[in-house]
Structure 1
Amino acid sequence: MSWRMPAETEAQERIWMAFPVDGYTLGETAAQAHEARSTWAAVAHAAAEFEPVTMVVDPSAAAVAREYLSAEIRIVEAPLNDAWMRDIGPTFVIDDGGNRLGAVDWVFNGWGRQNWAAWDKDTLIGAEVTAGAGAMPVPSKLVNEGGGIHVDGRGTVLVTETVQLDPFRNPGTSKAEVEAELARTLGANNVIWLPRGLTRDSDTFGTRGHVDIVATIPSPGVLLVHRQTNPEHPDYTICAEIIDHLAGTRDSDGNPWRIVELPAPATLRDEEGFVDYSYVNHLVVNGGVIACSFDDVADQAAVEILRACYPNRRVVTVDARPLFARGGGIHCISQQQPALATDSIVFSR
């Protein structure tokens, strides 16, 4: 059986998330824990305006989760280390006819065996969600995360050399071997390698270069790319290099991409250093887009660009600063389950 990962703009059955439970995500104080839970809940409620949402909750957090989540959010219990569903959960795919749901269960090892990460429970979440969705398991030996890939649903996948070729993820694995596995699992025959990710994401508490804060594909032939416009930020040079690199690549039809730049927020730093705030890290849902906001002067301009890139979708924003302070964004904490050809999907307005 051959598989295809649909574009995120294709019809969806539901969104999967995971609720914060312990460690750095909740923080060290009651106020920090409340901030984390409130932000995860805000994203869930924003997505639920458009389609069903299922939240995986550690049994120890089931009672407190329901305090933050409305009754429309379905809760399923499973042991968790963390709450980044894009990375710990499976990547959903469909068969050629669009009638069978599959789920690629990548190997998860704490973003390349990071010494601050724990993953003994999270490594089992892919199988839990696969079963909960009624999907056919698609096992893979590739260490990978959902935040490390973006597809157009037509054969193109964006990846990063510092992630899939990371010696702490896939030691000794070649580009050709990664590409063969992405073809087998995602139906990708046009693999575009970015040289690296953003500065902060390459630091101690980052993923070493996830593509989902750098670039995405809002429609066939179009790349939406993060652009840092302030030369005081180290990402200024990195973004220029990435955009120049992408300009030399081709889409699934062999044509040059139309590159749309999505300028970074004006905010350059937080208390930890240079930020990696990115509007690229948004979630596409049926009839809508759940976008990051940062209480920044650039927020409205970003919304307008997203509206232009996703016509006929309503753009809803959620303050993503608490997410980025913990190492990710809206796309990172969510995972879409595509609809099958036999499903009847009604887009909310």
Structure 2
Amino acid sequence: MATTLNHFMYVMFVLGVLIMVSLDFTAAQTGVCYGRLGTNLPSESDVVALYNQNNIRRMRIYDPDQLTLQALRGSSIEVILGVPNTDLQNVAASQGNADSWVQNNVRNYPDVRFRFIAVGNEVSPLRGDTSQYAQFILPAMQNVQNAISAAGIGNQIKVSTAIDTAVLGVDFPPADGAFRPEVGDYLNGIIDFLVNNGAPLLVNIYPYFSYINNKAQISLEYALFTSADGVDAGGVRYQNLFYAILDAMYAALEKSGGSSLEIVVSESGWPSEGGDSTSIDNARTYNTNLIQRVRDGTPKRPGRAIETYIFAMFDENQKDPEIEKHFGIFLPDRQPKYPINFN
């Protein structure tokens, strides 16, 4: 009897290890951002069904839309929930305001799998469209962290913010990556918060914009992951621009006390029309290769899958300028714009 029991326990242990190993592979799974600035988009329940049908296991939403959260109830989709920039001042103003925000949008949905709370999106003292919110980011993050910790879910959900790569003052070679001096104080507070709470930094990375703004030095193939030779960057060969930008961000973090931080790529994509070098073929090539490449890790952090979210699920006809309307991988009728496989 004891031998049989020991054998059973051994089998269960092996199965448990296999399950943990299989779950670990989900770190390489690519999510998709669900923006809703369109007049012709499917219902929220149809959107969640579309994620499930295409084996998209992670979703980023930009505000706590109640219909979306209701549609996500009971699903296995992991969610980045955004505190929109317009809510930052209120959430930063008092702990009570943050507690109410978390109660209404997180605690009221215990059957939604929240992964991160992104407090603000692309807020920077350098950006004219978001600089007015910069003073509220850190206190809002602190208040949201206090709220989820008091609710006993601080070990399940990480609090962060999403920044863009315009904060980089040096981005080549990637090893020399450094933040602009003007954002030093702003980012240092955020970095200290993330280090203290074991949370990743969310970064929106768009090789498309880097390419069209610097076509004299960057080839289309390098931006689309299709370069045969890549680029020599200070003795390190980079096969694609996405890896180079990401490693420049890691180098900048290391110089700013954030060497322990992980980066989650909270947006990346390629538009299918509306501007320079836009086409369905280029969008398909970029996003298909992105799904493959984020499994491998960068030269600076090899073998470590990069949690990444493609922007976006649908074209959004209310966005501006024109090019921003054409990042979708699905049409409003839920048909894929081009073949893409998330498995």
Q: What band does the TM-score fall into relative to the shorter chain?
A: 0.3 to 0.5
| Larger helix percent | 2
Structure whose alpha-carbon radius of gyration is higher: 2
With normalisation by structure 1, the TM-score equals 0.32
User: Structure 2 length as normaliser, TM-score?
Assistant: 0.32
